[in-house]
């Protein structure tokens, strides 16, 4: 593909945002949908064109504008570059992003603010594509900030609902903390490399013979930024609350766009991270801790979307873990498969919610497999994939991460492998728990009776009331739990197929494959940590067997607790109430943050900033100055009395003051 067409990939979604954002209110819904879909489909086709060139060996391709910033010898170009890593990210963002747009056309069909929703969705795609295509830290940061803005708008889409508005603000503020670290990292990069261009910085970094010091500082600050965007400890708290946005937003943020940005950034900067073993170890520990921490919380959640949200945090921890042991290709591989099955799981959860008139509590579901069969079968593929069961996609990518961690020479390699293995078992358990509670066992669905129109659906609305959607089929009049329309089911089917076969591109040589994705990314991503002598085909088989056995163990425990002995989980929760309560309340992290950070800041803001600074300094100084000027004017008015004797008196007083000054002060 000629590089001149590269501009179109981000600009087309931006054009969709402009059209729907400005005149969308006056357009029919079909036109709004057409604009949103067309301006995301064409970039996906352009990316397919790029792939034909990449596979033919044409990468990288670049396009550069005139210098964007040029001052005192420091220059940054507005430039896009496509290499092998970019190509994979582009395919994920545009491909999965388009399927989510298509699903949204059905799911959001009768929501207020339809045009506004698609405008925000297109804006999200634009900034994410800028982030992925950028050839410099500065342009990446523009996309980085842009997706933060778009996420704020989308999470707070139901802005009349306080919880949604607060969730949007929470995401925005927490991400600013991470962004502060990213900014400081860029300042250090400028100070030591004199450039923000990826190629220049990485070229100079590769010449460093005594790593450590400032490189470690840069990497740790980049990790702060990545932790905010990819929801890692301690900046993960915004992601579960992002469930307040519409379900397609959850799918887009959790699967194809925002949360992948941190992983992508760390992988892109692997040249720097390879120079700092300390930073890599920190990344591995953060990833492992986040993976198991979020998995433990996910064990007891009852909101179907929140289970998936904590699952996302946990899976992102896996990707961080992989980066920390130098397995960048494995991290990107898991990012890709995760995009397939996590988008599928969220959209399928949306289909369940759609079928149950807005119900999200799994305790009020059950026995839905025959009533919404397409949703059931497609979601089953997603559950098996994320549980890491062969031959679905999650098995290959998760197993590759665990193998790389076990055979890594990183001092924490074995430890993070053990944590990752336990997390795999927990993941399998809570995902099959979700599956059993939703589709199997006894039905706990509260039938809402017949509605006026067949296929009518009810969604949570901005004011938390339920809104009856218009009919999908006006020719029938029965209603109950119902399957979604095919505009929603078609993306599920595509994503289910990808969740099944998507991991085969990473089938390792030990299993008879060729690890195509590893070879594909090899020209771009190189590990800074050598594989230990323990790495061998036999080791890979043994580790895969242990991983698979752990996943089946999670399945069997869930099967026993929710199918064989349905009341056992409740008895366990009662017997271990302190532990259950701790997990149910998410380790009280939000409460601790509120007590330790939010409340002191609020008190400081209200007493010091609002009281002393605003009330005292900001308001007091002008008032005191005005009062002083008024007093001085009053005194001057009294002096200027027009009385000669008064003037003579003031003159004598002035002369006396001068004499006192000269005698007692100046002389000394």
- What is d(CA 264, CA 334) in angstroms, rounded to the nearest whole number? 12
Residue 326 region by backbone torsions, left for phi larger than 0, else alpha for psi between -120 and 50, else beta: left
Mean of per-residue pLDDT scores for the chain: 87
- For 569-613, write each residue's pLDDT tens digit: 899 999 999 999 999 999 999 889 888 888 888 888 877 777 777
Answer yes or no: are the C-beta atoms of 348 and 378 closer than 8 Å.
yes
H or E segment and range at residue 466: strand 466-468
Q: Does position 530 have pLDDT exceeding 80, yes or no?
A: no
Residue 463 confidence class, pLDDT cut points 50, 70, 90: very low
**pLDDT reported for residue 448:** 60
- For 342-357, write each residue's pLDDT tens digit: 999 999 999 999 999 8
- For 42-57, write each residue's pLDDT tens digit: 999 999 999 988 888 7
Answer yes or no: are the C-beta atoms of 376 and 368 closer than 8 Å.
yes
Residue 427 confidence class, pLDDT cut points 50, 70, 90: very high
Mean pLDDT, range 560-567, rounded to an integer: 92
Q: Does position 566 have pLDDT exceeding 70, yes or no?
A: yes
The residue among 41, 83, 56, 178 whose CA lies nearest residue 521 is 83
Q: Does position 654 have pLDDT exceeding 90, yes or no?
A: no
Task: Report the relative pairing of strands 458-460 and 74-82 from DSSP bridges.
Answer: unpaired
Residue 59 confidence class, pLDDT cut points 50, 70, 90: low
**pLDDT reported for residue 470:** 38
**pLDDT reported for residue 607:** 77
Burial class (CB in 10 A: 0-12, 13-18, 19+), 316: buried
- What is d(CA 52, CA 575) in angstroms, rounded to the nearest whole number? 59
Q: Which residue has the higher pLDDT, 357 or 190?
A: 190
- For 90-144, write each residue's pLDDT tens digit: 999 999 999 999 999 999 988 888 999 999 999 999 999 999 999 999 999 999 9
Answer yes or no: are the C-beta atoms of 104 and 250 closer than 8 Å.
no
Q: Which residue has the higher pLDDT, 2 or 196?
A: 196
The angle at the Cα of 130, spanning 126 to 135, to the nearest 5 degrees, equals 170
Mean pLDDT, range 262-267, rounded to an integer: 94
Whether residue 72 is preceded by a cis peptide bond, meaning omega within 30 degrees of 0, is no
Q: Count CB neighbours of 314 within 10 A.
A: 27
**pLDDT reported for residue 658:** 83
First to last CA, the chain: 86
- What is d(CA 224, CA 262) in angstroms, rounded to the nearest whole number? 9
- What is d(CA 222, CA 620) in angstroms, rounded to the nearest whole number? 42
- What is d(CA 458, CA 359) in angstroms, rounded to the nearest whole number? 9
Mean pLDDT, range 275-281, rounded to an integer: 92
CA distances from 155 to 10, 114, 234, 555 (A): 22, 15, 20, 33
Among the residue ranges 5-19, 172-186, 620-634, the one predicted with the least confidence is 620-634
**pLDDT reported for residue 633:** 85
Residue 529 confidence class, pLDDT cut points 50, 70, 90: low
Answer yes or no: are the C-beta atoms of 443 and 481 closer than 8 Å.
no
Residue 464 confidence class, pLDDT cut points 50, 70, 90: very low
DSSP 253-293: IIIISTTHHHHHHHHHTHHHHTT-HHHHHHHHHHHHHHHHH
Q: Does position 636 have pLDDT exceeding 90, yes or no?
A: no
CA distances from 338 to 128, 331, 377, 624 (A): 17, 10, 18, 62
Burial class (CB in 10 A: 0-12, 13-18, 19+), 4: exposed
**pLDDT reported for residue 486:** 92
351, HSE (Cβ side, Cα atoms, 13 Å):
32
């Amino acid at each position: 593909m000629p590089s001149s067409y590269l501009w179109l990939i981000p600009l087309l979604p931006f054009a969709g945002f402009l059209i729907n954002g400005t005149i969308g209110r006056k357009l029919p819904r079909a036109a709004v949908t057409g604009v949103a879909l067309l301006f995301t489909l064409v970039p996906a086709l352009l990316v397919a064109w790029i792939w034909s060139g990449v596979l033919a060996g044409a990468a990288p391709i670049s396009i550069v504008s005139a210098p964007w910033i040029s001052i005192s010898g420091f220059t940054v170009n507005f430039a896009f570059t496509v290499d092998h890593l970019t190509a994979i990210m582009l395919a994920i963002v545009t491909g999965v992003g388009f399927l989510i747009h298509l699903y949204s056309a059905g799911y959001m069909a009768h929501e207020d603010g339809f045009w506004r929703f698609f405008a925000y969705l297109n804006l999200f795609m634009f900034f994410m594509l800028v982030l992925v295509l950028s050839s410099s830290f500065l342009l990446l940061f523009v996309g980085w900030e842009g997706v933060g803005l778009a996420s704020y708008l989308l999470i707070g889409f139901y802005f009349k609902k306080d919880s949604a508005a607060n969730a949007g603000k929470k995401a925005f503020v927490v991400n600013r903390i991470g962004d502060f670290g990213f900014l400081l990292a860029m300042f250090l990069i400028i100070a030591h490399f004199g450039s923000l261009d990826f190629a220049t910085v990485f070229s100079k970094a590769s010449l460093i013979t005594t790593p450590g010091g400032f490189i470690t500082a840069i990497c740790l600050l980049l990790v702060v930024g990545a932790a905010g965007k990819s929801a890692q400890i301690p900046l993960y708290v915004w992601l579960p609350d992002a469930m307040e946005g519409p379900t397609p937003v959850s799918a887009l943020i959790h699967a194809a766009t925002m949360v992948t940005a941190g992983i992508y950034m760390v992988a892109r900067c692997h040249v720097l991270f390879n120079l700092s073993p300390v930073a890599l170890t920190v990344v591995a520990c953060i990833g492992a801790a986040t993976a198991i921490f979020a998995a433990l919380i996910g064990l007891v959640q009852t909101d179907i979307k929140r289970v998936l949200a904590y699952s996302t945090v946990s899976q992102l921890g896996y990707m961080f873990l992989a980066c920390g042991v130098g397995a960048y290709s494995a991290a990107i591989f898991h990012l890709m498969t995760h995009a397939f099955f996590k988008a599928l799981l969220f959209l399928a959860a949306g289909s369940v919610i759609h079928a149950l008139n807005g119900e999200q509590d799994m305790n009020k579901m059950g026995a839905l497999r025959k009533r919404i069969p397409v949703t059931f079968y497609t979601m089953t593929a997603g559950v098996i994939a994320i549980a890491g069961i062969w031959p679905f996609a999650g098995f290959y990518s998760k197993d590759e991460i665990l193998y790389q961690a076990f055979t890594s020479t990183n001092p924490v390699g074995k430890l993070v492998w053990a944590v990752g293995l336990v997390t795999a078992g927990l993941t399998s358990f809570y995902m099959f728990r979700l599956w059993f509670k939703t589709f199997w066992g006894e039905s706990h669905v509260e039938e809402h009776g017949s509605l006026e129109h067949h296929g009518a659906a009810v969604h949570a609305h901005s004011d938390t009331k339920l809104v009856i959607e218009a009919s999908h089929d006006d020719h029938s009049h029965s209603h109950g739990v119902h399957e979604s329309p095919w505009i929603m089911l078609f993306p599920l089917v595509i994503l289910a197929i990808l969740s099944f076969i998507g991991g085969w591109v990473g089938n390792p040589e030990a299993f008879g494959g060729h690890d195509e994705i590893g070879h594909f990314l090899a020209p771009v991503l190189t590990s800074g940590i050598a594989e230990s002598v323990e790495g061998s085909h036999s080791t890979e088989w043994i580790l895969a067997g242990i991983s698979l056995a752990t996943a089946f163990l999670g399945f069997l425990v869930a099967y026993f607790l929710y199918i064989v002995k349905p009341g056992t989980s409740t008895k366990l929760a009662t017997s271990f109430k302190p532990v259950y309560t701790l997990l149910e309340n998410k380790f009280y992290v939000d409460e601790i943050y509120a007590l330790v950070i939010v409340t002191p800041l609020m008190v400081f803001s209200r007493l010091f900033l609002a009281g002393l600074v605003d009330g005292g300094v900001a308001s007091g100084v002008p008032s005191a100055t005005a009062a002083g000027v008024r007093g001085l004017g009053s005194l001057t008015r009294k002096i200027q009395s027009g009385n000669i004797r008064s003037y003579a008196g003031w003159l004598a007083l002035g002369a006396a003051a001068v004499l006192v000054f000269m005698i007692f002060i100046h002389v000394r």
